Amino acid sequence: MLENYGTVEKMSKTSIEAASKAFDALSKTAKEVAAEMAEYSKSSFESGSKAMEKLFGVKSLDKAIEVQSEYAKSIFEDFTTRTTKIGQLYADLGKEVFKPFAANMSKTPAAK
């Protein structure tokens, strides 16, 4: 009976350690995502402001369409780059969060 208690106690301890590691990975990734989103917001605002300045300075419809097209292309490229990076952060998070639990599962008596 005491042997089972020791096994349960050890499993509980390793589960708590795994949860702690998973929470650390979650916290780190949340900070990285928040920083990336803040940087994206800042750069998006700046590029929008620059595009508006250019639009106010144009004298023809052709030039206005050209400025708008350049702006649309740049924001699409920036958005694609940023969302790809954020998606990779979340993919890495998934791997990191489950890594400690997977290691624990391979050590449990039921897995053997």
Q: What is the pLDDT of residues 84-110, one digit of tens each?
A: 999 999 999 988 888 877 776 766 555
d(CA 43, CA 39): 6
Distance set, CA 13 to CA 74, 104, 107 (Å): 51, 10, 13
d(CA 85, CA 103): 27
Instruction: Give the domain ranges of the chain.
Output: 2-107
d(CA 43, CA 41): 6
pTM for this prediction: 0.71
**Given a cut of 90, is residue 61 above it in pLDDT?**
yes
Q: What is the pLDDT of residues 4-28, one digit of tens each?
A: 777 777 777 888 888 888 889 889 9
d(CA 71, CA 29): 30
